[in-house]
Chains A and B, each alone.
Chain A
Amino acid sequence: MPGSTRRRWRGSVIVLLPLLLAAGCGGDEEEGTGGAQATKVVKIGVIAPLSGDLTATGTGIRNSVELAIRQANEKNKVPGWRIELAAEDDAAKPDVGAAAAAKLSSDAAVVGVVGTYNSSVALQTAPVLERANIVQISPANTNDTLTRGQNFKTSPTRPYKNYFRTATLDSLQGGFAADYAYNDLKVKNVAIIHDKKAYGQGLADSFKGQFEKLGGKIIATETINPGDKDFSAVLSKIKPLNPDMLFYGGEYPEASLISNQAKGPQAMKAPLMGGDGIVDATYGKTAGAAANGDYGTSVGAPPEKLDSAKQFLADYKAAGFKDSYSAYGALAYDAANAIINTLPTALGSATAVDDAVRRKVLDAVGKVNFGGASGTVAFDQYGDTVTKALTMYKVEAGVFNPIKTGEFKG
């Protein structure tokens, strides 16, 4: 009896298999074409956190890329070809991101990837995609080493020839923060706290470099452990030095606690300033009233304030996405368009995407120059964006509000 059941089951699988395959193919064909003519397919990948804590940010990136693709298809920007989106979740984890990159590079139709959100994930995806000559453009990575190698300060060398980004660098972010603190806030004595992570320490170092160059004084540098809750001891140590401001290199979970404890239990008056790691809606909620008057820098200009982004914002709204475009939406939209713009020439008379096409796209992305939603989209010899806009935000009534957008010239 059991034997016959199993045999019958196996039989049904054999019958079903072709059906499933057919259904699978049908699914691919279905979107958009209407089946009129056999259009050739080219794919643009997305690698971003689509699950976990950072889902909102990742979904905004994915949707913005999808919007760019939809518009290109509607306008028939690449005649004879239909562009498809291949979105992969990296869960903000390097190993998951590496697997996603491997999956995309094995898909013959993929010519380029927009992503990732986390610098640590990009360190894993860039080399995988590089081997397949697939261009990667990140809308959000800020770590300097991604485009300028380990010795980015002294002898920058580009580690991945396929890696570009529309986001600016931590070294510029720290410098921009230092400029603002010294020139606009007239702050002279700053105490630095950082969490020893690549992002936090890098940001703190670049702030320190520029702030001291301007003539400011770093009166203390303290480090903390990510995950700690009680910062009273380290704040008590800093307090007698009377800093005008605290600069924090790290992310919002610790930053909100430090802000709260500095102003509450320690009765300190100095505001806290940080980078894009603390500019998050949670910060104002968990730091409470203490957060008001704190500062944070972020990459790019706020899209709501940019004339160039008006069309993007209107289109995004009209497209009916459930989630917000998030902080990196405009930058992701521009990244996708940088790839799309190269396709008409790169694909040329090709019948399918192959290595030659990927190489052409890669070369062409390095030379793009167009007005995007976030500003001019063009890349320097390292693959970094030439638009180095940064924005200073200030917490008012628990919310980060943009107060100054500018560039850091160094």
Chain B
Amino acid sequence: MRQFLQQLVNGTVLGATYGLIALGYTMVYGIIQLINFAHGEVFMVGAFGGLTVYRYWLPDSLASNVWVALPAVLIGAIAVAVGVAVVMERLAYRPLRNAPRLAPLITAIGVSIFLQEAVRLFYPGGKRQQAFPQMISSGTFDVGGVTVPWVSVFVVVVAVALMVGLQVFVKTTKTGKAMRATSQDPESAKLIGIDVDRVIVVTFVLGAALAAVAGVMQGMRFAQIDFRIGFLAGLKAFTAAVLGGIGNIKGAVLGGFLLGIVEALATQYVPHGSSWKDVWAFVVLIGVLVVRPGGLLGERVATRA
């Protein structure tokens, strides 16, 4: 039982990161039906943005103060990720808005490779792993024999807060309403005076900001980042988004947590689980899609022309 709870904790923390990144996939898909494969790289670039602020801008006297360093790193990460996402949308995706679906998809893969290589070649020492500041104590505490690191508490609390915040934003604000309208029918949204281009940019900005926070979290948890982290994280987050029902915000969160927990439990309870955990994650995905093709919370399969 204790092992079960321990793995549940591990899975929840892993899932929180998946969920945050998955939100970016699902929102962009919900608005323009684009699977933005470069989103994993936005996550990576965000982590590097945070590292840059910590390493080059923060004076040493402030770097040790978590109340200054952590917000500064988060802001730096968000600024860089949002900047990259906005430029990416403007230069790579907007010109292809009315092109066949396949064109932006291939473009997204191109952007992804571009961002990876850019960091590898031009970030100082970018070819190797970079040590990432841990900022929060690397200590742990025990609850009934279950070891919980403090940084994991931070990760889950922030992730859940952001997820709830996003939900509130989309449900209550005017911009959120515009997003929902655009998602349902961009043509009609345009007719009633919604600036669709602006809504799309806002969507990219929100997704990038969440991914940047996830990037900083990953850096803090593992104390290191490299230019390749976006690929696997992006793939898992995309899986989480599909699992929950792509285009559905609650679905992305649910899918993220579910995927993380399945991976952790598979490692514990399935023979050779630690190397087969990805296989079990995809078995769950296939199982869900067979029963519910739209994903767990997907209301309908997007068939709009």
Which residues on A are within 8 Å of B, measured CB to CB?
52-53, 196, 222-225, 227-230, 232-234, 236-237, 239-240, 253, 256-257, 260-261, 264-267, 282, 285-288, 290
Contact = CB atoms under 8 A, between A and B. Distances in A.
Task: State the main secondary structure of chain A at its contact with B.
Answer: helix
Given A223-B275, A224-B275, A265-B140, A282 B128 contact: yes
B33 interface: no
A101 B49 CA distance: 42
B39 interface: no
Given A240-B3, A264-B138, A233 B11 contact: yes
Nearest to A225: B275
Contacts of B233: 229
A265 B229 contact: no
Contacts of A286: 129-131, 223-224
B280 to A, nearest CB: 11
Contacts of A234: 267, 274
Given A228-B232, A236-B7, A237-B268, 11 more contacts: A223-B272, A232-B10, A232-B13, A233-B263, A233-B264, A239-B147, A256-B224, A264-B149, A266-B140, A285-B129, A285-B131
Q: Considering the complex of A and B, which 4 residue pairs feature the smallest CB-CB distances, nearest first?
A: A233-B267, A265-B149, A223-B275, A234-B274
Contacts of A236: 3, 6-7, 10, 147, 264, 268
Is chain B's interface secondary structure helix, strand, loop, or mixed overall?
helix
> How many interface residues does chain B have, given as a range?
35 or more
Contacts of B272: 223
B119 interface: no
A257 B263 CA distance: 18
Interface of B: 2-3, 6-7, 10-11, 13-14, 127-131, 134, 138, 140, 147, 149, 151-152, 218, 221-224, 226, 228-229, 232-233, 263-264, 267-268, 272-275, 277-278
B222 A53 contact: no
B221 to A, nearest CB: 7
Contacts of A285: 129, 131
A237 B263 CA distance: 13
Nearest to A398: B131
A288 B134 contact: yes
A257 B147 contact: no
Nearest to A222: B274
Most buried by B among A230, A239, A257: A230
B150 to A, nearest CB: 9
Contacts of B134: 288
A287 B130 CA distance: 10
Contacts of B275: 196, 222-225
Contact of B264 (A229, A232, A257, A287): A232
A233 B222 contact: no
A212 B154 CA distance: 42
Contacts of B274: 222-224, 233-234, 237
A265 B151 CA distance: 8
A260 B223 contact: yes
Residue among A223, A225, A236, A256 with the highest chain B CB neighbour number at 10 A: A236
Contacts of A223: 272, 274-275
